Chain A
């Protein structure tokens, strides 16, 4: 596959930066702490590296940042909608299981999509079919099943596909 070139060192750099920043945030910014953070951030990914599965390359990091912003806005807006539904009449709600056909194939993008769906109020991802081609989602209020599926596919899956380029 052409999308997993250069995956041997990219996650290592990402892990280094992540561990370094977290260690600095947990402690104070002094020279000793930064030195310790650098050593730990270099050693820990080496030790636990074999636990990691291969991740596809992030092709467009800027688009990823935009995706996170869109997601934050959606979380806030739709939480208000769900708050109204929860406090309103429960008989009007029409819960349901829906199936979303997946175009993503790698495990990491599918995980991200499932987490996105779970964080967006009104939907919780329940299960992935064994061949990783369908994502089962429980929705709190299904007004229009094809419309909801199309909305999720258009708003969340298409950007993820572009970000991971495969």
Chain B
């Protein structure tokens, strides 16, 4: 049980926990816009943490450092907000109903039509 193993195990556990939290959020949150929150962010951090564990493990176990996994981290962190944005745009387009107590629910049409908030109020 070396320090490397300990660090790898720690990052793996953190990553697994965040992936689980993201999936639980996807499972139990009530409406689509709220469901969008959990997977795009908790899962992104989770996969980042697991890839970090992989970097640590292979850098000290294998021959020479391995930072190839850093490319996947970068790719995930670049694309997660973009797919979240496209999904929420599509959800507005097909008129998904948010939860009833959502703040500013009455202005959903203004958001869909991309009008300026100030000019409408």
What residues of chain B lie closer than 8 Å to A2, measured between beta carbons? none
Given A96-B103, A128-B114, A134-B118: A26 and B71 interface contact (C-beta under 8 Å): yes
**Which of A4-12, A47-55, A75-83, A154-162 forms part of the interface with chain B?**
A75-83
A124 at the A/B interface (Cβ < 8 Å)? yes
**Which of A33-41, A58-66, A135-143 forms part of the interface with chain B?**
A135-143
A70 at the A/B interface (Cβ < 8 Å)? no
Per-residue CB proximity of A78-103 to B under 8 Å, as 1/0? Answer: 01001100110010011111110100
- For chain A, residues 108 to 166, give those with C-beta under 8 angstroms from any C-beta of chain B: 114-122, 124-131, 133-134, 136, 138, 140, 142, 145
Interface SS of chain A: mixed
Interface size range of chain B in the complex: 35 or more
Given A95-B34, A124-B84, A130-B115: A79 and B102 interface contact (C-beta under 8 Å): no
Q: In the bound complex, what is the Cα–Cα distance between A134 and B102 (angstroms)?
A: 19
Given A127-B111, A128-B114, A134-B117: A115 and B82 interface contact (C-beta under 8 Å): yes
Interface size range of chain A in the complex: 35 or more
What residues of chain A lie closer than 8 Å to B81, measured between beta carbons? 114-119, 125
Q: In the bound complex, what is the Cα–Cα distance between A114 and B83 (angstroms)?
A: 12
Given A90-B30, A124-B84, A127-B111: A82 and B37 interface contact (C-beta under 8 Å): yes
